[in-house]
Structure 1
Amino acid sequence: MMSYRSAMRHQNVVDDCQRISCNKGPSSALFQLSGRCVIVKDIVLGCRMEWSDPDIPSLFEHTWCVYLRQQDNVSMEKFVRRVTFRMSPRLPLRLQVADSAPFEITEVLVTDFPIEMQVEYTDPKMTPTIYVFKAPRLAGRTPEETPDKMIFVNPSPAMRLSLAACSLSTMATAMGSTSSLLSVAGVKGLDGQVGDAAEKSKKPGLAVKKHYQ
């Protein structure tokens, strides 16, 4: 389960990642009054070697495919607009852009520089998220992947529909009713509900006590 406070812990300054996307539009203020809506997506950052011609001498560097995908392999195109891959912190202009699914690029990786991935969303009011993926050991053909998260705070109704259209997501509110939010995502009951709302559902005694106060 993940509350808003727990989600903020994923804002890790140690690995330079920005995992939380916040709604900077005026509609976000309405959620501040009724409670925060948090939607979590599990994603994978990965890298795999591209198959090459066996007749090519081994002194040539291999081409690798670097990608960002949803953990269940469902297309992210409904809510992701663009992913920018920055290949080296010392060469800021060395970048590639994937503006359609699958969000991946091919590159010759000859260093162990971390690769920065900046994700922009179809809703321009949602702030971009940034992930840092360390280049693999460049040995073998087995893909190397790292699990991570996309966390959306107070997305607009249109953005929530886009997120729900891809797959059922984990939704949460820090306070207030969540029935309308769950109905938008197609979730019935309290299954998949996280955060303070889920904790209240497990403590009916507290809810009754609050009702009589």
Structure 2
Amino acid sequence: MKTVVLATSNKGKIAEFKELLKDFELEVKGLDEYPEIGEIPEPGETFLENAIIKAQTVANITGFIAVADDSGLEVDALDGRPGVYSARYSGEDATPAKNNSKLLDELKGVEEAKRTARFVCVMVAATPDNIRIQSRGDWDGRIAFELSGDEGFGYDPLFFDPELGCVAAKMTRETKNSRSHRGKALRALMAQWPEFQKKVHG
């Protein structure tokens, strides 16, 4: 059983990843099993830069293949914000509730047609020998006028999927994985996995 370490302690993300990776016969661990690693700085200006930093750092420390994603919400009416700052949008003491509240405040008075947005996820798998693959997934939608639903995490209570007619926080995990930016990025990464494994094992 190959071990893959996910460069996150976020229980929601770990659960999503495990679900998405269940067909690959991989033992999936999260950073909660490596408390000595601590918080990894994310100084990058793009999702890709941050994903590479996290994946390579975790691979180097653990000696296993590491998979990291950097993801966030891009809102067209806010010129792409919060983007790479999605998790800390409302400041250093940011929480999902504060972030959602700030987003609603910033979009006050913006009509429905102009509340278009997308979740973006860039994913990187890295080995301790600096062999890497990368992928990207986008999930298009718009920002609702109020919070609803209790599934998911982060901006899910505000992210409305027009095709399904509901916010992400009202979707089952299976439905969300089939639609989400992270699901798309991971499936694109897994499509490269056999070739990646060949490179890794020479």
Q: Does the TM-score normalized on the shorter chain lie above 0.5?
A: no
Higher helix proportion (structure 1 or 2): 2
What is the TM-score with the length of structure 1 in the denominator? Answer: 0.25
Higher strand proportion (structure 1 or 2): 1
What is the TM-score with the length of structure 2 in the denominator? Answer: 0.26
Greater relative contact order structure (CA < 8 Å, 6+ sep): 1
